Amino acid sequence: MKKILPVITILVILASFLPPVQTVAASAPAPAARQSFDGDVVCLPGAYLQEPADCAPVGPSITLTGLAKSGIAVPALPLPIKRTPAELASIPYRYALAIKGAIPTYSTLADAIDKNVHRMMPAGKTKYLSYSQRVENASGLFYQVETGEWVSGDDIQTRVTPSSVFQGVQVSRTPRTGFGWILDITTSVTTPGYNSPKTGKKYGRFNIVTAYAIKSADGVDWVQIGPDEWLEDRLVARVTPMTAPPDGVTNGRWIEVNLGEQTFTVYDNSQMVFATLMSSGVKPFYTRPGLFQIYKKLNVEQMSGTFEADHSDYYYLENVPWTMYFDEARAIHGVYWHTLFGYNASHGCVNLSIADAKWVFDWAKSGDNVYVWDPTGKTPKDVTSVGGP
């Protein structure tokens, strides 16, 4: 290659102090490809998606252009998201987990002290009570629950404080790239594959990352979260922006329930406005794919039921907050009894954190569309189980 004139060298040095050149508009006509850059003026460092006619996009520009073609900007552009207000997680209820066996209830505190039983609450796998009073005296510890009845503290395993450890994000505009939440503690690698060198960058559960690309290696998918930085796809619950409404949605308002990723996204005026993690139904109590509409909204709901013949799986849940029914007994609602967001964990309902359920409850209207789908195709569409929390 010919020697570069001193003036070009000076331009290269000055370029390091200048901002990157804007990418050439995609609509501009592309110049004829050149076979050599010998003797050309070197372009200022930047991403050149089309070859410029008046300079040579070499050196750093080669790297920046390659990243740009993958959707990666340098420096990285921030995602147009922010966490929802913390006060959304506040609810005026206190909860307690009851023992699995049958427990007596009492009409009054005096009856509880004298052990005059009003009725027996059935045994079951899960029983959460919402209590308004907790009284401790010489006769023992007692709770007044949502029904107005009293139960003995001896029949309570533990009191439960609803967790606000996780909240979704408000989205100011539909992102150009996908993003997602880390589901478990992990360290990224430099290229797709289990034997790839580690970057040394560690991520924790619920960290948010940008998702640029997907590649397969060692029989599994890997997601690119930055330049030379990859994570196994199963560790990232991804949100991929929808560029068009699902079939059947004509008003620009819908909720997307992604069963494969366990993500929950809200669109208003065909723009993404909210996204979060969820928990949908476990086998065989799948959340059914399809297009549905919210048909009932309740500030709180009592949920109970059983699926096994011997009633060993009986559940009883008081004051389930921010409930929105959309498919028979299946509902979107807040949960206070687990934080397994990003994993299947329900009997068919769509579980959200309390803060997320409140955000959606305030946004949603009766008749709004709920689009449930599984991009993996693994969820059967002919689900017959009724559903539950």
**Which pLDDT value is given to residue 382?**
82
| 237 CB neighbour count, 10 Å cutoff | 25
- How far is the C-alpha of 166 from the C-alpha of 173, rounded, in Å? 22
Please say if the pLDDT value at position 137 is more than 60: yes
Q: Is residue 84 part of a domain?
A: no
Q: Is residue 274 part of a domain?
A: yes
Q: Look at the chain and count its residues.
A: 389
Q: Is residue 33 part of a domain?
A: yes
Query: Are residue 268 and residue 363 in the same domain, yes or no?
Result: yes
Does residue 34 contact residue 50 with C-beta atoms inside 8 Å? no
Query: Are residue 227 and residue 258 in the same domain, yes or no?
Result: no
Structure tokens given for 67 = 């990243």
Of 330-334, 361-365, 375-379, 382-386, the one with minimum mean pLDDT is 382-386
Q: Is residue 344 part of a domain?
A: yes
Query: Are residue 259 and residue 367 in the same domain, yes or no?
Result: yes
Q: How far apart are the first and last CA of the chain?
A: 70
Structure tokens given for 55 = 């300079």
Q: Which residue has the higher pLDDT, 263 or 37?
A: 263
In this prediction the pTM is: 0.81
pLDDT digits (tens, 9 = 90+) for 291-310: 999 999 999 999 998 888 78
30 pLDDT band, cuts 50/70/90, is very low
Query: Are residue 223 and residue 270 in the same domain, yes or no?
Result: no
Largest CA distance in the chain: 102
Query: Are residue 37 and residue 127 in the same domain, yes or no?
Result: no
pLDDT digits (tens, 9 = 90+) for 161-188: 887 789 999 999 999 899 999 999 999 9
- How far is the C-alpha of 265 from the C-alpha of 255, rounded, in Å? 6
Domain total of the chain: 4
Of 60-69, 81-90, 192-201, 340-349, the one with minimum mean pLDDT is 60-69
- How far is the C-alpha of 70 from the C-alpha of 72, rounded, in Å? 6
Distances in whole angstroms, Cα of residue 277 to Cα of each of 99, 136, 236: 30, 39, 11
Which range of residues forms the domain containing residue 182? 177-239
**Which pLDDT value is given to residue 332?**
98
Query: Are residue 267 and residue 225 in the same domain, yes or no?
Result: no
Query: Are residue 265 and residue 202 in the same domain, yes or no?
Result: no
Q: Is residue 124 part of a domain?
A: yes
Query: Are residue 227 and residue 260 in the same domain, yes or no?
Result: no
Q: Is residue 245 part of a domain?
A: no
Structure tokens given for 244 = 């068009």
Does residue 193 contact residue 166 with C-beta atoms inside 8 Å? no
Does residue 264 contact residue 258 with C-beta atoms inside 8 Å? yes
Q: Is residue 13 part of a domain?
A: yes
Residue appearing with tokens 């921030």: 78
